[in-house]
Each structure stands twice: as C-alpha cells, then as structure tokens.
C-alpha cells in the first residue's frame, strides 16, 4: 500500500470586525466553538478550531476583528491578530460582500507583501446579487493577488466545502500537531465564560457588552451535573444594576439561556451560579487584563 503524505498546518482567519470570521470557523469545523453576535468586537481572543481527517489536520484560528485600539484591551486583541499573521501556514482574509478595498487598513499592505499563501473569502453572499459578487471577486483578485478568492455564505454553510478543499490543497506536508480527537486548544472554563459573554452581547445595549467580562471561578464536573460559578465583571456600579435588572430579572434571563447553551455544548446538565462584580477600569489596566486571560 502506498503511503500518503500527511498534511497539517495553521490556517488563520483574520478580517475586519463583524464580517463573519467566527461564523466561518464554526462552519468549517462543524462545532460551535466561537461565539457569534450581530455586534462588532464579539471575539476577544484567538481561538483554535481543529479539523482532522485521516491524512490531514487543519488548525483554524479565529481572531478578533481588526480595529484601531481605543483601550488596552484592544491593543492586546490586536497582538493576537499580529501573531496570527506571523505564524500562519495559510491566511484566510475574510471580507463582507459589501466591503470595498480600504486603503487606510495597514493589514492589507502586509497581505500584499506576505509570502504566506493567501485565500480571500467573500462572505455574506446571500445578501448580494451574482453580478455584485463577480465584481468583488475581480476587485480582490486585483488588489491582493491571492491564491484564491472564494465566495461563501458562512451563515448558510454555502460553498464552505470548496474553501476546505482549497485549504487542504495548500497545507504543507507535516505530521499532526494535535491529537486527532481534539477540537480546540481552549478549556471548558473558557467556553463556559464565552457562552455567558455571548448572552450579555445579545441582551444588553450600548456600553454594557463592551464593559463586561466573565470569569469562571469554579468548574466542577460531577457524575450527573457540572457546577459552574461565574463572575460577571463590569466597570461601574450603575452597570451592575443594569446587568442584574429589576428584581434580578435580567440576570436570571441570561443565566437560563447560558445554562441551556452550556448543556448543549457540554452534553450534560449544568448548575450555573452567577455573581456580578465591579472591577473599575479593567479594560485599561494591564495587570487586570492579564488576570482575565488576556496575556500577550
Ligand atoms: N447574512 C449573513 N450574515 C452572516 C453571515 N455570516 C455571518 N453573518 C452574521 O454577521 C454577524 C457577525 O458574525 P460573526 O461571525 O460574529 O463576525 P466576526 O467577524 O467574528 O465578528 P467579530 O468577532 O466581532 O470581529 C452575525 O450577526 C452573523 O450572524 C452570512 O454568510 N450571511
Ligand atoms: Mg468573531
């Protein structure tokens, strides 16, 4: 029997906020690893999603959307993007179908001169006509000269198979980096905190989602239940009141939704306890950020 070469590598997904990077990674891995909301800046970490086959392994990285930092937190988020640009075997640059070429975006210059194989993914094509999509394919081919421009609808899982095939063709020969059963580099605690953060992004407006973070301070897996204690951090007292809501109604609501999502994710009943704490200025203080898992 002829031995086939095993291929493996890091396919790093980058792009502006809200273009659908996380939706795409979930579609490509078939797992709900990254949280998704309609608000920009949902993703704050680099999250790996691993897809393995008999003779290949793709390690996708979802990353925060590229932005001009206004807080220390943003600066850390952008270091994750920089790292993803540096350590990629394949770069997947995601744009929305309505997005034009932004001369002001420094990352585009970097992509033009990068020697790493580049795939441009045009996402959300369900929102545009075929002519508009064809025009955008031409635009991105001209501007970035990538190996491929692939139009998809990550939301509808449309044409993501073609993207996977292109990624597989570009993978270098390499033994697997992770066990074939592994799906991610992240811990269960991390996913528990992300699920609560998603519910905060979905149910609160204005500054609240951006002023909040979630810490899991107990995660105990028993025979029939996982007991999770979460601390929701906000920056000010007034925000604490908003998170909790009248008579505790809002906190209860997101708690129920988060618990259900956790049960689906972990495949086991969850007992969830939530507390809210004021942590002034956590977004701007390096030591606090590091304690919250935003290490650079
Ligand atoms: N119509 C349409 N909407 C999409 C598609 N893919 C993603 N979306 C929506 O776009 C919004 C943002 O999706 P995300 O996957 O969170 O985007 P992101 O690039 O990870 O955003 P950040 O993490 O904030 O940078 C959500 O409301 C998604 O449902 C698509 O193919 N079509
Ligand atoms: Mg995201």
Both tokens assigned to 40:
């920009």
Q: Which pLDDT score is estimated for 295? A: 87
Ligand nearest to the CA of 99: 1
Q: Which pLDDT score is estimated for 72? A: 97
Which domains are assigned to the chain? 7-170 (3.40.50.300), 188-291 (3.30.300.20)
- The C-alpha atoms of residue 155 and residue 217 are separated, in whole angstroms, by 33
H or E stretch covering 211: helix 208-211
Q: What is the CA radius of gyration of the chain?
A: 20
List, for residues 138-178, the tens digit of each pLDDT value: 999 999 999 999 999 999 999 999 999 999 999 999 999 99
List Cα–Cα distances, 146 to 12, 34, 37, 90, 114, in angstroms: 15, 26, 29, 11, 10
Contact status, residue 202 vs residue 37, Cβ threshold 8 Å: yes
Q: Which pLDDT score is estimated for 34? A: 97
Compute the distance from residue 223 Cα to the ligand 2 centre, in Å: 33
Ligand nearest to the CA of 201: 1
Q: Which pLDDT score is estimated for 2? A: 54
List Cα–Cα distances, 160 to 26, 120, 156, 228, in angstroms: 11, 13, 9, 35
- The C-alpha atoms of residue 260 and residue 267 are separated, in whole angstroms, by 10
- The C-alpha atoms of residue 153 and residue 13 are separated, in whole angstroms, by 15
Contact status, residue 199 vs residue 35, Cβ threshold 8 Å: no
Q: Which pLDDT score is estimated for 1? A: 54
Compute the distance from residue 217 Cα to the ligand 2 centre, in Å: 24
Within 10 angstroms of residue 281's Cβ, the number of other Cβ atoms is 12
Low-confidence ranges of the chain (pLDDT < 50): none
């Amino acid at each position: 029997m002829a031995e086939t070469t095993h291929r493996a590598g890091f396919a790093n997904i980058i792009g502006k906020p809200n273009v659908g990077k996380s939706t795409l990674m979930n579609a490509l891995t078939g797992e709900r690893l990254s949280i998704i909301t309609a608000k920009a800046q949902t993703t704050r970490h680099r999250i790996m999603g691993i897809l393995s086959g008999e003779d290949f392994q793709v390690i996708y990285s979802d990353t925060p959307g590229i932005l001009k930092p206004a807080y220390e937190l943003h600066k850390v988020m952008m270091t994750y993007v920089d790292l993803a640009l540096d350590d990629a075997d394949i770069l997947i640059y995601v744009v929305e179908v309505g997005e034009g070429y932004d001369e002001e975006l420094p990352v585009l210059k970097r992509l033009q001169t990068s020697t790493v194989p580049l795939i441009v993914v045009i996402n959300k094509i369900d929102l545009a006509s075929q002519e508009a999509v064809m025009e955008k394919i031409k635009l991105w081919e001209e501007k970035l000269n990538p190996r491929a421009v692939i139009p998809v609808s990550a939301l509808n899982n449309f044409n993501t198979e073609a993207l996977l095939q292109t990624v597989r063709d570009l993978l270098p020969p390499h033994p697997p980096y992770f066990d074939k059963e592994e799906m991610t580099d992240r811990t269960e605690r991390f996913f528990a905190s992300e699920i609560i953060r998603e519910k905060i992004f979905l149910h609160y407006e204005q500054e609240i989602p951006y002023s909040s973070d979630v810490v899991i301070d107990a995660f105990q897996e028993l025979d029939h239940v996982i007991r999770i204690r979460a601390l929701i951090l906000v920056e000010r007292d007034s925000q604490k009141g908003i998170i909790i809501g009248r008579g505790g109604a809002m906190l209860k609501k997101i708690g129920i939704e988060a618990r259900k999502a956790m049960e689906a994710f972990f495949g086991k009943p969850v007992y969830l306890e939530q507390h809210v704490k004021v942590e002034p200025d956590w977004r701007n203080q390096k030591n606090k950020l590091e304690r919250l898992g935003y290490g650079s």
